[in-house]
Every structure is written in structure tokens, then in C-alpha cells.
Amino acid sequence: MGRLKQTYSEEIVPAMREKFSYANVME
């Protein structure tokens, strides 16, 4: 599960932030 979580954190989350512009919201 650790590797899956790492993949999620490094790939899925950044992709979602870019797609939905979450980065701007969090700032």
C-alpha cells in the first residue's frame, strides 16, 4: 500500500490540483 500511496501523492494529487486549479484555492 505504501507504494500505491506514494504514486497517488506524487501523480494523482498534482494532476488534480492542475486540472481543478486547487493550487490557487489553497493559497
Each residue's pLDDT, cut to its tens digit, for the chain (27 residues) gives 688 888 888 888 888 878 876 556 666
Nine cell digits for residue 8 = 497517488
Say what the pLDDT of residue 26 is.
Answer: 61
CA–CA gap between residue 5 and residue 3 (Å, rounded)? 5
Range of the domain at 14: 1-26
Task: Look at the chain and report how many structural domains it folds into.
Answer: 1
Q: d(Cα 26, Cα 15) in Å, to the nearest integer? A: 15
Q: How far apart are CA 24 and CA 22, in angstroms?
A: 5
Q: What is the pTM of this model?
A: 0.38
Q: How many CB atoms lie within 10 A of CB 24?
A: 8
Q: Cell numbers of 25, please?
A: 484555492
